[in-house]
Amino acid sequence: MNLEAAINEWSDLLAEHVITNAEELRAAATATFNESRCIPAIIRPGSRTEVQACLRVANRHGVPLYPVSSGRNWGYGSRLPALNGCALLDLRRLNRILDLNEELGYVTLEPGVTQVQLFEYLRARGSKLWMDATGSSPDCSVVGNTMERGFGHTPYSDHFGNACALEVVLPNGEIIDTGFGRFPDACAAPLYRPGVGPSVDGLFSQSNLGIATRMTVWLMPAPERVQAFFFRCDHDTDLPGLIDALRPLRMRGLLRSAVHIGNDYKVLSGIQQFPWEETGGQTPLTRDILQGARRKLGFGAWNGSGALYGTAREVAEARRVLRRSLRGRVARLTFMDDRRIRLLQAVHGPLQAFVRRDLAQALGLVKSVFGLLQGIPTSQPLRSCYWRKRGPIPDDMDPDRDRCGLLWLAPVLPLRGSDAVHACELAARTLLQFGFEPILSLTLLTERALGCVISISYDRDKAGEDERARSCHDVLLKGLMARGYYPYRLGAQSMWLMDQPNSYNRFIAQIRDAIDPNRILAPGRYEGERRLRQFEANLTAGLDERPGSPC
């Protein structure tokens, strides 16, 4: 590879948008766990045409590019390329919202558009359409999260399932439009995903076969009525009955959206940081202290949230059935709508000075969940990244910079009580063994699948924790796989899962070899790194000898 030549050509194209100073490169190479990369440059094209030109330069000089949209893939490796020696292709400048169709319910946008940008855009236009937001940062990229197959909280929670008409730049710099988009003036391009002939959208999700530079995202018409519900179970043993009671409601469409259920640790970490004083600095949190917090703040062993959407009568009927189905299975079921939230707010506002800080935070959590159930981005859940940090949470949260420790592991389970119990028990046991709190949540992703999100949250500033967290992650992932539970998404900590030789991986490799013979696009991403070790060694040879090299 000829890095100098590539940087020179990129600089000719992008001027100051080529970053090579060591400090910025080092910041970019930092994640929320002990993984780093040698990133020789960051380039920030401002248009699709510039993305194409950057790829051509990369091909000419053999410098691979790793595309990121906002780079906020926290818990999965932030913006780290899979291999050392890849330059970052940062798409934040492609941040246009190109089209909004109120009648047919969609927006077309570029990868630099953030959740909050889309939200404000819709609000400014008085749109009657809702986006779906993840609980991740408001500054995370809509397209980036979609390509990773992330999920949110409304009936449009399946982000990739509600995306259409991708514009993709291939590794050779060519552009394709998926679905009907490849035909001139095809009216249904943003409306009907597969188009005609082989449908390739899925090939570009969780992959390294192309860069999405534009996408249509379907938006949900605001329903006549939305009513959130919150419930809690007081005993761990309530979990399987709860899941089995919710499944028929989800399968029958009475619950149209992803219900989220968090354990006690999850709720506590959303409300406050680790109670260092109370525990005298001991970790992990003892059951006693946790029980005390449950009593004080009113949450249970498992705590669920979701919402009902529709006409007033539809919502009333769904409420009736939900109430009946959960009777005897939950300790408390509360419904909440705008009026009730405003009431709480009105009571709470004037009393702010007198209310305990943790209660205020608990109300903040409820409000943020209620917002998410309507697609309103929030930074509230991000606070939990600071769970084990000793200092206060800064206003401008940046878990990478602040050395928050966070590893996410998200297996998919059958939507069945027994599977939820198996996976959660294994996760809780393993995390506690390694000295971490088992912060767990379960999401009714689809009518048939349950997503379990396991957070390993720690303080990178504490010696030995980085290594312990990684061991914990690996032991748990292998344990889950041995029981048949595989993750829906991988990060820098788990990309090794793709290393195994099998016919599926060979098939993808054949495609990759055909369309990216120079291995210019995100080598190792969702393909496993092992077989690329020699390739990587060639990329990085001599890199550490450059002045100010971060390698």
In the structure encoding, which two tokens stand for residue 375, read together?
């697609």
194 close to 538: Cβ distance less than 8 angstroms: no
Closest contact distance (angstroms) between CB of 384 and its own copies is: 24
- If the CB atoms of residues 458 and 526 are measured against its own copies, the closer one turns out to be 526
Closest contact distance (angstroms) between CB of 326 and its own copies is: 16
Residue bearing tokens 């878990």? 399
- If the CB atoms of residues 204 and 231 are measured against its own copies, the closer one turns out to be 204
**Of residues 180-209, those binding its own copies (CB under 8 A):** 180, 182-188, 191-192, 194-207, 209
- If the CB atoms of residues 15 and 187 are measured against its own copies, the closer one turns out to be 187
Closest by alpha carbon to 456, among 384, 407, 420?
407
Residue type, 486: Y
Cα–Cα distance measured from residue 106 to residue 104, given in angstroms and rounded to the nearest whole number: 6
129 close to 219: Cβ distance less than 8 angstroms: yes
**Of residues 379-438, those binding its own copies (CB under 8 A):** 412-416, 419
Q: Using CB under 8 A, which of 159, 260, 388, 489 touches its own copies?
A: 489
Closest contact distance (angstroms) between CB of 169 and its own copies is: 10
CA angle 313-369-279, nearest 5°? Answer: 140
- If the CB atoms of residues 92 and 519 are measured against its own copies, the closer one turns out to be 519
Cα–Cα distance measured from residue 428 to residue 386, given in angstroms and rounded to the nearest whole number: 20
- Give the x/- contact pattern for its own copies in 11-50, rule: CB under 8 A: ----------------------------------------
- Whats the size of the chain, residue-wise? 551
Select the span of 77-85, 226-234, 262-270, 488-496 touching its own copies (CB under 8 A): 488-496
Closest contact distance (angstroms) between CB of 6 and its own copies is: 24
**Of residues 296-315, those binding its own copies (CB under 8 A):** 309-311, 313-314
With H, G, I as helix, E, B as strand and everything else as coil, classify residue 44: coil
Q: How many residues bind its own copies (CB under 8 A)?
A: 92
Q: Using CB under 8 A, which of 234, 278, 358, 447 touches its own copies?
A: 447
Cα–Cα distance measured from residue 14 to residue 125, given in angstroms and rounded to the nearest whole number: 33
Select the span of 66-74, 99-107, 336-344, 393-401 touching its own copies (CB under 8 A): 99-107
In the structure encoding, which two tokens stand for residue 343, read together?
């009431």
Alpha helices in 15-134 (DSSP H): 22-28, 48-61, 115-124
Q: Taking CB under 8 A as the rule, does residue 461 contact its own copies?
A: no
**Of residues 116-175, those binding its own copies (CB under 8 A):** 149, 155, 160, 170, 174-175
Q: Positive or negative CA dihedral for 380, 124, 117, 187?
A: positive
Q: Using CB under 8 A, which of 25, 485, 491, 550 touches its own copies?
A: 485
Alpha helices in 434-542 (DSSP H): 465-482, 503-515, 533-540
- If the CB atoms of residues 301 and 490 are measured against its own copies, the closer one turns out to be 490
**Of residues 315-374, those binding its own copies (CB under 8 A):** 317, 320-321
Distances (CA, A) of 432 to 48, 427, 452: 48, 8, 17
Closest contact distance (angstroms) between CB of 488 and its own copies is: 6
Q: Using CB under 8 A, which of 29, 131, 382, 498 touches its own copies?
A: 498
Tell me the Ramachandran region of residue 526: left when phi exceeds 0, alpha when psi lies from -120 to 50, beta otherwise.
left
Cα–Cα distance measured from residue 84 to residue 103, given in angstroms and rounded to the nearest whole number: 47
Closest contact distance (angstroms) between CB of 463 and its own copies is: 33
C-beta atoms surrounding 510 within 10 Å:
10
**Of residues 238-257, those binding its own copies (CB under 8 A):** 247-248, 251-254, 256
